[in-house]
Amino acid sequence: MRRHAAARFAVLATGAGACGACDYRRGALDPASPDAMLIQILWWVFFWTAAFVFTGVLVALAVALYRGRGRATAQGSSPDVHPDAALERRTERAVLAATALSVVILVSLLLASVFGGRTLFRSPHAPLHAKLVAHQWWWEIQYHGKTASDLVTTANELHLPAGVPVDVELASADVIHSLWIPNLHGKRDLIPGHLSHLVLRPARPGSYEGRCAEFCGLQHAKMDLRVIVEPPAQFSAWLTAARRPAPPPATASAQRGAEIFARGPCGMCHGVVGSKASASAGPDLTHFASRAWLGAGALPNSALNLRAWLEDPQAVKPGVQMPPTRLPAGELDDLLAYLGTLR
Amino acid sequence: MRFTGFAAGVMLLLAGASCRREERRFSEPAARLARPVHAAQQPSGAPVAAFVDNAWSVSEGQRLYGWFNCAGCHSLAGGGGMGPPLRDAEWLYGGTPEAIHRSIVEGRPNGMPAFGTRVPDYQVWQLVAYVLSFSGRLRLDVAPGRPESIALGEPASLTDRKNPRPPAVHP
């Protein structure tokens, strides 16, 4: 039994050690924007205050236990009906002082939280606009340009320029979701029938992770948003490339694949700009092959994974709203060849 | 005391039955995943009940009705527009579940496209289940109680669900 406990402790200790080596880029403790920095400051203020109070209470408890030891046996179990008046006064003062201190600490924390929150969501002016629509279970991203043909629609990868504030309009297509990119900002709900805004001000280039932070159904856990922050010049180059329609398929196999995509089952939900497929119920696939993940973080985007995903998405992400694709073997190869050209 | 136990047993049984009412099937048998086959070649009865008596199938059908833009011709609540209405007692090509399945799979003259090569069989049956709800032909415990969208007019929960069919219009 003891050996079991020791083993369990070893496992826990290793776990804690492993988490000590956790990639802090995943968390809110590595801010990459002024807003995340403010949240981090708030967090540490709360953490150290709580740690200070907790330690103080434990120390007071230990002192009380130490000083009160032996008193109960000396006086027996009968209640003390003639307390020492001087001791009573001192205790009363100590309780009053502790209560006053608690009120001051709690009110200060409340003020820090309220003013921190107001600073976070005051929406500064942003030169760039994007729209984020949450779906069960993926993210739709739109960048509007000067004309309608400049519209870029993509999925699950949010590209942002470093050092440029971006006003992100948030909407939901079905149920309540919540956007959380810990490195950049706090959480913001996406509510059906209601538009909200979040101004993201990424300061440092890098790749960050976003999550849905409001339980939204069966695959809530697999609803990842990759946030790619690039230097402005690189971002403009990406946006220009994203505005281009998909390249026409060159090989015969890819051409057959394009036809299967548009006239077969894929085109019922997915769209590819520059082809006959123009549906918008599922993720836009115009530049699908340049994305890193399949199914909002379900699998890395590789040819083998894509085949497995197409054949049975339910095996990878049970409940996902994509039906299995049953095509004759040759047609599936053509379709994969076509999807590979969508760079 | 004995009655309480009996009542609890009955309640449990009923609860079990209601679970089946919205049972979710994420993996269908192979035949339902493939392209749908001619309704006449289908083994009759079984697939119809599995989809039509299942509230989750109906709600999936509702989602697909929007996604596949059925509303573009038949309007949102099946009231009809460019295409014929789906909520009255008049059916040009038959109003049985099998006939509706066939209309979706094979298409019909004057505009109804054939979706047989584009939609797997189980989704066609989900659409059939939802289309049947327009004319009030689903079981009362399966039919949607209220639409999820914001709508003008009387709430669906207050309308007469025993008799929702509008009077047939004879020209």
B61: its two tokens: 């059908």
pLDDT score at A185: 93
Does the pLDDT at position A4 exceed 70?
no
Q: Order of strands, edge to edge, in the sheet holding A138-143? A: A152-155, A138-143, A128-135, A166-172, A196-200
* A295 Ramachandran zone, left/alpha/beta (phi>0; psi -120 to 50): left
Per-residue DSSP letter, A33: S
Greatest Cα-to-Cα distance within chain B, rounded to the nearest angstrom: 66
**In which residue are the tokens 């509007």 written?**
A144
- Please, are residues A185 and A37 in contact by the beta-carbon 8 Å criterion? no
Mean pLDDT, rounded, for A124-144: 92
Q: Do A267 and B118 touch (CB under 8 A)?
A: yes
**Minimum distance, in Å, between the CA of residue B105 and any CA atom of chain A:** 13
Does the pLDDT at position A20 exceed 50?
no
Q: ipTM for the complex?
A: 0.79
Contacts 24+ apart (CB under 8 A), B108-117: B111/B73, B111/B82, B111/B83, B112/B73, B112/B83, B115/A268, B115/B68, B116/B35, B116/B36, B117/A263, B117/A264, B117/A265, B117/B35
Alpha helices in chain B (DSSP H): 2-21, 30-33, 46-52, 55-67, 71-74, 97-106, 121-134
Per-residue DSSP letter, A247: P
Q: Do B67 and A281 touch (CB under 8 A)?
A: yes
Task: Output the tens digit of pLDDT for each of chain B's 171 residues.
Answer: 577 787 787 777 766 666 677 788 887 777 777 777 665 555 555 578 888 888 899 989 999 999 999 999 998 878 888 999 998 888 999 888 889 999 999 999 989 999 988 999 899 999 999 999 888 888 877 877 665 555 555 555 555 555 555 544 443
Q: Angle formed by the axes of helices B121-134 and B97-106, to 10°?
A: 120
State phi, psi for A228 to the nearest 5 degrees.
-110, 110
- A12, with CB counted inside 10 A (0-12, 13-18, 19+), is exposed
Calpha distance B167→B160 (Å, rounded): 13
Give residue-wise pLDDT tens across range A281-320.
999 999 999 999 999 999 999 999 999 999 999 999 998 9
pLDDT score at B160: 59
**Minimum distance, in Å, between the CA of residue B120 and any CA atom of chain A:** 8
Please check whether residue A324 touches B, CB under 8 A.
yes
Nearest CA in chain A to B149: A193
With beta carbons under 8 A apart, name residues in chain B contacting A323. Answer: 33, 120, 122-123
Please check whether residue A265 touches B, CB under 8 A.
yes
How many CB atoms lie under 10 A from the CB of residue A209? 17
